[in-house]
Amino acid sequence: MQGENYTLLTVELKRDEGVRRVPYKDTKGIDTVAVGHNLQAKPLPNAVYPLTDAAIDSILYADLCDVFSDLDSHLPWWQDLNDVRQRVLANMCFNLGITKLGGFMNTLAAMRQGRWADASAGMLNSAWASQVGDRAKRLAQMMKTGVCA
């Protein structure tokens, strides 16, 4: 993902995840910093707090490289989606991780087959949707229509 689509994804993730300059405990008690960066999974031993904007953007870039690599490896068809739907899948993968995203088997099959209403319904009919609320509604609408919500 490049250019404007990448920029829009970073804006959406900063809105959805929030931006924190110092570590905090997320809703599951996991130490987190920057834009939803899990310090338990990927410690930042040389980080100096509070983080600068440049440091936050660098951490987000590295995390998104991991997301794109995971999507390329596990769901290579994601690159065939339009820009908006690519951002939805990347946003979900960023939030859930590739393993939990893989649990959306019927939803992913609907996405792959272009059954957008089914994919959207599958997103909304999940524990994830009840956990993330408006984020899920917005992403499901984007998946359904292929345009920004």
Per-residue confidence in pLDDT tens, the chain, 149 aa: 889 999 999 999 999 999 999 999 998 899 999 999 999 999 999 999 999 999 999 999 999 999 999 999 999 999 999 999 999 999 999 999 999 999 999 999 999 999 999 999 999 999 999 999 999 999 999 999 999 96
Let me know how long the chain is: 149
Looking at the DSSP bridge assignments, the partners of residue 24 are 32
Q: Which two tokens stand for residue 68?
A: 């794109």
User: What pTM value is reported for the model?
Assistant: 0.95
Distance CA 116, CA 30 (A): 33
- Residue 141 has what pLDDT? 98
- Residue 2 has what pLDDT? 85
By C-alpha distance, which of 109, 120, 110 is closest to 146? Answer: 120
- Residue 72 CB coordination number (10 Å): 11
- Residue 3 has what pLDDT? 92
Architecture of the domain spanning 3-145? Orthogonal Bundle (1.10)
Q: Which two tokens stand for residue 99?
A: 């393993």
3-state class (DSSP) for residue 135: helix
3-state class (DSSP) for residue 17: helix
Strand (E) or helix (H) holding 69? helix 53-74
By C-alpha distance, which of 17, 5, 19 is closest to 142? Answer: 5
By C-alpha distance, which of 16, 136, 62 is closest to 8? Answer: 16
- Residue 42 has what pLDDT? 96
- Residue 1 has what pLDDT? 84
- Residue 121 has what pLDDT? 98
